[in-house]
Amino acid sequence: MNGVESTPTLFPHLDEQDRERMREAAHRLLAHGSILREEPNERELYDWCQSRTQMLEEWASLLGLKIVWHRDERLIIALPEVAPLLRRLRLDETLVVLALWYDYDVEVRDRGATEVAFPVRDFNERLASKFNRMKLPSESRMREILRLLDRNNLVRLTGSEDLAAASVRVLPTIRFVIPFSGIEEWTRHAERFAEESETGAELATAGMEEEAE
């Protein structure tokens, strides 16, 4: 060793501060699938990414990801472009995500809502009405599913230890991670999954991690 620091060959023009920002953006996109400016702890990172679009896209392409910029919604999503990066959901997880997508779409598209939130109790009732032939998740299982979706920037679960009284806020990322063109397409998928007993959907997000056993 001669004690001389080597020059990075990947993005060598970045100074140490920008390299740390790039590392933070990469970690967040890989772990959570998206960066949302509406989240207070992500605003500065989102703004930094907006000024480094080409660099972020080049990094993502090396990993088989595509960076999608939704500037009106102020969010950045990393979508897999290769099959091994798709996350296989269990059936009950798929049904919950489908129901959340539907409720979000109705509130935004039909009622002009800018934020969609409701008690978990109300969501459970609507879930039961949508998939009345299916065995729905228990309370403990529903908590696991909502926590999984929270970690992956699809919802925010807040409030009471009593899950039924807790609140779930659906984030706009859900419309792009599951990009149905409208309710008709949603209905076709919902009917198909309601008829299946074992398999769920492949979710196109880089950050859909399973909760540790």
The residues spanned by each domain of the chain are 16-84, 87-203
d(CA 204, CA 174) in angstroms, rounded, equals: 10
Q: Tell me the CA distances in angstroms from 4 to 10, 16, 18, 110, one per residue in order.
A: 18, 17, 21, 62
Segment of 67-76, 158-167, 177-186, 188-197 carrying the highest mean pLDDT? 67-76
Helix axes 120-130, 91-105, angle to 10 degrees: 110
Mean pLDDT of 93-113: 90
Cβ neighbourhood burial of 138 (10 Å; 0-12, 13-18, 19+): exposed
pLDDT digits (tens, 9 = 90+) for 155-179: 999 987 889 889 999 999 998 877 7
Q: In this structure, which topology does domain 87-203 adopt according to CATH?
A: Arc Repressor Mutant, subunit A (1.10.10)
pLDDT digits (tens, 9 = 90+) for 22-60: 999 999 999 999 999 998 899 999 999 999 999 999 999
pLDDT tier for residue 5 given thresholds of 50, 70 and 90: low
Mean pLDDT of the chain: 84
Whole-prediction pTM value?
Answer: 0.80
Q: What is the pLDDT of residue 14?
A: 84
Higher per-residue confidence, 185 vs 79: 79
CATH of 16-84, one of 1.10.150, 3.90.220, 1.10.3470, 1.10.10: 1.10.10
Same fold, 16-84 and 87-203: yes
d(CA 138, CA 161) in angstroms, rounded, equals: 15
Q: Spell 44-76 as b/e; 16+ CB within 10 A means b.
A: ebbebbeebeebbeebbeebebebbeeeebbbb
pLDDT tier for residue 13 given thresholds of 50, 70 and 90: confident
